Amino acid sequence: MVYEKQSLRRVLRERRNGLSPSVRRSGALRAARRGYLVLRRAKRVGAYLPHGSEIDPRPLMYALARSGCAVYLPVVGRQLNSSLSFRPWRPPLARNRYGIMEPRWGRKLQGSQLDMILVPLVGFDLRGSRLGQGGGHYDRTFAFLSRRKHLKPRLIGMAFERQQVAELPRDTHDVCLHAVITEKRVYRARRML
């Protein structure tokens, strides 16, 4: 299963990397318009800053912040297998051990204190399965959602349409998404557990 996920990650990253910068920018703007309709009532939203060719959630983050929503970014713990916490999206930002920018100051919140979380991904399917970078940070942080599905936060993936696959392999520890926002539409997960 691990080998299958690694090769699938490589293929899906190549698909995403194949998009030109202008297509990625316009796709992010279209996804932001769709995403705003999904998240506009949320008071606290976790987001992420794009790494590599990931879809850029910043247009959506700016729109949410202008409407009065508090936006938070993930902070990777110092331990290798730690869970994520979230700090307000504001300077100063510094690179973590993965080279991703994260806030250094502000009160830390746990994921359960947020209404919705925008989640980066490498691939997704219509069951709500998500293929991430492979570090397991989101799965560890939101494992409690697998046991009690009605709890907050709602996990909303952001991706380009070409990152969708028919079906992803799923491990028992994988946490599913509630929805995925792409440049073309919003997919609500069909749970087939």
Summarised one tens digit per residue, pLDDT across range 147-184 is 776 679 999 999 999 999 999 988 888 899 999 999 99
Q: Alpha helices of 40-163 — where are they, by DSSP H?
A: 58-66, 137-141, 144-147
Is the pLDDT at 12 greater than 90? The verdict is: yes
Which range (4-18, 25-39, 45-59, 70-84) has the least confidence? 70-84
Report the b/e string of 174-185 with b at 16+ CB within 10 A: bbbbbbbbbbee
Q: What is the pLDDT of residue 29?
A: 98
Tokens linked to 152: 């907050």
pLDDT of residue 151: 79
pLDDT bin (cut points 50, 70, 90) of residue 2 is low
Give the tokens for residue 130: 């998500």
* 89-98 tens-digit pLDDT: 999 999 998 8
Residue 193 pLDDT level (bands cut at 50, 70, 90): very low
Strand-by-strand arrangement of the 84-88 sheet: 84-88, 70-76, 44-46, 116-119, 154-158, 179-181, 186-188
So where are the chain's domains?
2-188
Q: Are 65 and 39 in contact (CB under 8 A)?
A: no
Q: What's the pLDDT score for residue 173?
A: 85
pLDDT in tens, 177-186: 999 999 999 9
Class of domain 2-188 (CATH, top level):
alpha beta
Q: Is the whole-model pTM more than 0.85?
A: yes
Average pLDDT, the chain: 92
Please count the other Cβ atoms lying within 10 Å of the Cβ belonging to residue 148: 7
Judged against a pLDDT cut of 50, whether residue 27 lies above it is answered with: yes
**For the chain, how far is it from start to end, CA to CA, in angstroms?**
18
Interval 10-27 mean pLDDT: 97
Local structure of 75: helix, strand or coil: strand
Question: What is the structure's pLDDT at 192?
Answer: 36
